[in-house]
Each structure stands twice: as structure tokens, then as C-alpha cells.
Structure 1
Amino acid sequence: MRLEFDLSEIKAVSNKILKKITHKIILFEGDLGVGKTTFIKEVCKNLGVNSFVNSPTFSIVNQYSSSQYNTIYHIDLYRINNLNEIFDSGIDEYFDNKSYCLIENPGKIHEIISYSHHRIKIIKKTKSDKRVIEFLN
């Protein structure tokens, strides 16, 4: 699935994507500033999170309570440099939790993730404020 949208349409696009979700681990790919966190905020709202959702770039993992799904983990691997840091920090243990794991900047995690997951890529169009979202699997 490939959708083009502007930020005013993010709620509708998030709903369309969530209808396709069958796995609880979702990898969000895209350049810095493309809107991954903004999109994840909307996904969290649709999953029943009522609290403030912000980027976990510095904390690496943010945990949110959901009225529908207990706990949702929002993970940003931007500052993770290698696989050892993933294992040393215990990030890999979140994947076996059966909770939603929304992962920004997944990078090298593709090499170790054995759990079923989805990949979503967000691209900013160069000549406008529009974004393209690709639901890759």
C-alpha cells in the first residue's frame, strides 16, 4: 500500500494503516524530520493512548498506557550504533512482550529481529509538504 498525504490527513492515513496491521512490531523508516514521530503520535491515539506522546530519541524507549492494549512501547534507535548496544540495553526483550512496539530508525535491527513485524516507510516529497507512506509488509 502506498498513500500520499499532507499532515492534515494524518488521522485518516493512520486509520487506514492500522486496519492492515496484523503484527505488534512496527518498524518506521524515513529520513530525520520526515514525520515518523508525528505519525506514531496519531497511531498511539488510535490505539487508545491518552497521554502525551513524544520522541524517545534521548530516552530511547517511551512507555505508554493504552485503554485498549495495556502497554505500548515507542522506541527510537537513532542513537544506537551497533547490535551490541541493542542487546546491552535490553531493547530486544520488548519484542517478546506481546505489546505493541513502534520502532523509529530501525537500522541494524533487521539483522536480529525474528518476530513477525511490519515495515512502514515515510518519505517527504521535495516540492511540497506532502508525505508518501509505504506499507512494505
Structure 2
Amino acid sequence: MEWTFTIEELPKIAQSFWAQYGAQQIFTLEGAMGAGKTTFVKALCAAKGVEDTTASPTFSIINQYNYRTNGGVTRNIYHLDLYRLRDEEEAIGAGVEDTLYQEGAICFVEWPDIIQDLLPADTIRLQLTVLPDQRRQLRVS
């Protein structure tokens, strides 16, 4: 699956994304600095009805947001940024493994290279690219 969009089109793209991948729980986000990874997660959180302010987890490493399902159940969305971590051991110490395997939670992981061995086989990989006209391309695999 692939989408090409402007920043203004993100709310519509987020709705389409959830319609296609709403049952999935773990997503990796790859792309250059400034490609829009955090902006994309913000749009996805908004589409799920997250009311908290969403921000980059660059310094906190893990940000947690809550939303309610259609059945009224509170669920968590985690946004992880592993850029500053050195290795898998440091990631485990920061709580990454516990976050990935929390029942019912959705996880978005930026800079996932150091935890490849922790990711389940059904992880969805998202690649964001900035196009020459400043639109973004999202590839899902």
C-alpha cells in the first residue's frame, strides 16, 4: 500500500490508514529527519480521538496516549523514538519490550534498527519520504 499526500491531507490519510490497518498493533516508522514521522503519528492519534497533546518522544523515548474504542474501552497508543539509544539492552531497560507486548496497545516505533530482534513477525513497516514538491510518500510493507 502506498499513499502520497500533503500535510493538509493528513487527517484524511489517517482515517484511510486506520480503515486499512486498524487491527494491527506494532508499526515501525522509517524516514529521514524531518520526513514527518511524528507529524504522521499526531494525525493518527487525532483520528483515534486522542485528546492529549501529542509530541515527539525524542527525549522521553516513550510517549503514551489514551483513546476510547467504539465500545468505550480505554486503550493505549505508544510512540517510541529510539534514536538516542545505543543498543537493544538499553531499549529493554527503557521499557520498550514491555510496551511492545502490552495487550491491546498500539505502538509506533521510530528508529527501530536496534530492536529488530524484539519485533514480532507481523510488524507493519512504514517508510516516509519527502518528495521534491514537499508532498510525503508513505509506503507500507
- TM normalised by structure 2 equals 0.89
Per the alignment, residue 18 of structure 1 pairs with 18
Amino acid at match of 2:20: K
Per the alignment, residue 118 of structure 2 pairs with 112
Report how many aligned residue pairs link the two structures. Answer: 135
Per the alignment, residue 124 of structure 1 pairs with 130
Q: Give runs of aligned pairs for residues 1-137 of structure 1, distance below 5 A.
A: 1-21=1-21, 22-68=23-69, 69-98=74-103, 99-114=105-120, 116-125=122-131, 127-136=132-141
Amino acid at match of 1:52: T
Amino acid at match of 2:130: K
**Matched position secondary structure for 1:64:** strand
In structure 1, distance between residues paired with 2:33 and 2:52 = 24
- Post-superposition CA distance 1:14-52 (Å, at most 9, x none): 111111213111111111110000000010111220110
In structure 1, distance between residues paired with 2:60 and 2:92 = 16
Contact 1:6 1:129 in 2 (8 A): yes
Runs of at least 5 residues in structure 1 that lack an aligned partner in the other structure:
none
In structure 2, distance between residues paired with 1:111 and 1:53 = 28
Amino acid at match of 2:49: G
Q: Percent identity?
A: 30
In structure 2, distance between residues paired with 1:110 and 1:14 = 25
In structure 2, distance between residues paired with 1:114 and 1:100 = 13
- Structure 1 residue 79: deviation in Å? 0.9
In structure 1, distance between residues paired with 2:91 and 2:26 = 16
In structure 2, distance between residues paired with 1:96 and 1:33 = 28
- TM normalised by structure 1 equals 0.91
Backbone CA RMSD of aligned residues: 1.4
Amino acid at match of 2:112: P
